[in-house]
Homo-oligomer: A and B are copies of this chain.
Amino acid sequence: MAATRPRVNATVADRPPRVLERLEALRAWTDASMRPVHFVPTMGNLHRGHLALVEQAAHDGARVLVSIFVNPTQFGPGEDYTHYPRSLADDLAALAATPCEAVWLPDETAMYPSGQDLRFRVAAPAALGSVLCGAHRPGHFDGVCEVVLRLLWQVRPARLVMGEKDYQQLLILRRMLIDFSIPVEIDAAATVREPDGLALSSRNRYLDAAQRQVAPGLHAELVRVAEAVCAADPGTFPALERSALERLAMKGFEPDYVSIRSAEDLGPGNAVNDRVFGAARLGRSRLIDNVAVTRQICR
Contacts and interface: CB of A to CB of B under 8 A. Distances in A.
A47 interface: no
Interface stretch (A121-129, A163-171, A291-299): A121-129
Contacts of A119: 125, 179
B122 A153 contact: no
Interface in A9-67: 23, 27
A114 interface: yes
A182 interface: yes
Nearest to A265: B118
Contacts of A178: 113-114
Contact of A179 (B23, B112, B181, B182): B112
Nearest to A112: B179
B183 A120 contact: no
B127 A179 contact: no
A214 B254 CA distance: 68
Contact of A120 (B27, B154, B180): B180
A179 B153 CA distance: 11
Interface string A140-161: 0000010001100110000000
A120 B122 contact: yes
A138 to B, nearest CB: 15
A175 interface: yes
Contacts of A149: 180
6 contacts: A23-B181, A118-B127, A118-B175, A120-B175, A121-B121, A123-B123
A194 interface: no
Interface of A: 23, 27, 110, 112-114, 117-125, 127-128, 145, 149-150, 153-154, 175-176, 178-183
Nearest to A149: B180
Closest 5 CB pairs of A and B: A121-B123, A118-B125, A114-B179, A154-B181, A120-B179
Contacts of A113: 178-179, 181
Nearest to A175: B114
A180 B153 CA distance: 7
A26 to B, nearest CB: 9
Given A153-B181, A181-B153, A182-B153, A120 B114 contact: no
B114 A150 contact: no
Contacts of A125: 114, 117-121
A60 to B, nearest CB: 18
Contacts of A27: 183
A176 B112 CA distance: 11
Nearest to A176: B120
A188 to B, nearest CB: 20
Of A120, A124, A125, A178, which is in contact with the most chain B CB atoms at under 10 Å from its CB? A120
